[in-house]
Amino acid sequence: MPFFEFITPLFLLLIVGGTFVGVIFGAIPGMTATMAVAVCLPLTYPLGLENGLALLLGLYVGGISGGLVPAILLNIPGTPSSITTTFDGYPMTQKGEGEKALKIGICASFAGGIISLIALYLFAPALADFAIRFSYVEKFLIILFALSVMGALSTNMLIGIFSGFLGIFISLIGTYDISSGGNGKHRLIPSGLEYWLDSGFSLLPVLIGIFGLSAILQQAEAGMPPGLSRDKVRIGKSSKFSFSIFKGQVLNVIRSSGIGTFVGILPGVGGSAASILAYTNAKTFSKNPENFGKGEPAGIIASESGNNGLTGGALVPLLSLGIPGDSTTALLIGAFTLQGIQVGPLFIGNNPETWTAMIFAMLIANIVMFVMMFYAIRYVALIVTIPKHILFPIILMMCVIGAYTINYGIMFDVWTLLIFGLFGWLALKIRLEIAPFIIGFILGPSAEIYFVKSLESFGDLSIFFTKSWIAVLLWFLILGSIAGSAFISSKAREAE
């Protein structure tokens, strides 16, 4: 069957390897799925698109799932998205039910991943078919909507929107590209840097700096907390795991996975929001809400199916609209860029084999994650003891390779890595929002083209309000998200 030619031993090996490395990154506090993808991105260059995506999607699924290990065993979320797993997972470990809690979390992660994969398979092509009809006006408004949603869901709406626009502004540094209809002139380039910034800051060094180097700087600032010794990792198996625990939890799994998928579809909203929403809902609908936070399996199920539900959901806007659903999928854009492929409404139709390969890779990655973690959980738990003083220097070295090789050997890209590593560290201190910044940076050049070309074509600003019913709907959604956020924050202030 020629359509499945991509399924080769290498393809399968890369998924297994990617998932394994992803679990390691997810399980070590301070390292994330995003960092795993950032560090391994340069490896995809010689692998080709399908094989490269197999590796990256394995890393993504493994990275999100691995976070449950330290969350349950040590009360430290391995990734931000497993924060709510600590609420019930760690109390179970304290009761000597660590292994049972881990296996509940692994099963829930698997269910969440599969449900979100089904959603991806059904929704992405439908949304892409719909989005093909969009003109530059609607495409510009979609980007504006993405930024407004991200701003609205930020801790501080104003700062969230500001961060998104700052990302756009920095992305405009360089030449107004002739191949995109621009006039080929420079703008916003500091004097003396014209040669280096002719094409602006490259996307991947920026992403690797913000997600790789800045995480290392944060760890260094915190004194690089040492790894744990083996005797401190007590898995505990006083109570046996049984699949009957999931009896009566089917609705919880489906609801939490659905919430995760929906949150994933919203641009720039991370896994922590997915798991918190899923956990809160599970508690609200539970017959025993008082048990939550004291070692209730339903809490782990909600949290883990919620955060793994994000994996498929976050790919929906990426593959149908070209807008990343979270920071990890933003990095996947880098893999497509490396292979010269643009993601957007035409992607699925023009690249059916790549689309099928992605679905297969996600499916296999979820199965590998389940088998690997479920049957070898006692060994997987030991990942948290890997010393950071060995891992972090190697990660920084890999960041350098990623930045340097992206444009076939330009040292300025390595300095870009340092500049944006420091920026990422500083942004946390001054409470800038990283996710909107990244999405703004990625979508800025497209936003410019859509905006300017719309005006050049129609010569009238009102076109953004009158082009179609979709444009009107998008304005309602933009204003609704901002007004909703403003209302919620004013209520919160009143409550204080």
Partner 1 sequence: MGELTKVTIDFQSSHLLFPIIIGCVLAVLGLAIVVRERSRITTSGSHWRRIFTQMDKFRFFGTLALTLAYFSLMVPVGDFWPNTGLGFLFCSIPFVFLAGLLFMHVWTARSVLVLATVAVLVPSLIWWLFTEVFFLTLP
Q: Kindly list the residues in this chain that would bind partner 1 in the complex (CB under 8 A).
A: 42, 45-46, 158-159, 161-162, 165-166, 168-169, 172, 175-176, 182-183, 185-188, 213, 216-217, 220-224, 226, 387-390, 392-394, 396-398, 400-401, 404-405, 408-409, 411, 414-415, 418, 429, 444, 447-448, 451-452, 455-456, 459-462
Element (H, E) at 72: helix 68-74
Nearer to partner 1, 376 or 411 (CB): 411
Nearer to partner 1, 264 or 444 (CB): 444
Q: Closest distance between partner 1 and the C-beta of residue 488, in Å?
A: 16
Nearer to partner 1, 166 or 435 (CB): 166
d(CA 11, CA 230): 34
d(CA 424, CA 417): 10
Q: Closest distance between partner 1 and the C-beta of residue 456, in Å?
A: 5
Nearer to partner 1, 247 or 389 (CB): 389
Q: Which amino acid is at 196?
A: W
Distances 225 to 34, 62, 95, 220, 228 between C-alpha atoms, Å = 20, 23, 26, 8, 9
Pair 264, 435: CB distance under 8 Å: no
Q: Closest distance between partner 1 and the C-beta of residue 187, in Å?
A: 5
Length of the chain: 496
Distances 338 to 42, 321, 326, 329, 493 between C-alpha atoms, Å = 9, 19, 19, 15, 46
* Token representation of residue 61: 């699924």
Pairing mode of beta strands 174-175, 186-187? antiparallel
Nearer to partner 1, 349 or 393 (CB): 393
Distances 279 to 73, 75, 334 between C-alpha atoms, Å = 19, 16, 32
Element (H, E) at 187: strand 186-187
d(CA 421, CA 51): 28
Nearer to partner 1, 185 or 247 (CB): 185
Distances 433 to 270, 386, 427 between C-alpha atoms, Å = 12, 30, 7
Nearer to partner 1, 52 or 258 (CB): 52
What is the dihedral angle through the alpha carbons of 253, 258, 260, 261, rounded to the nearest 10 degrees?
140
Nearer to partner 1, 129 or 194 (CB): 194
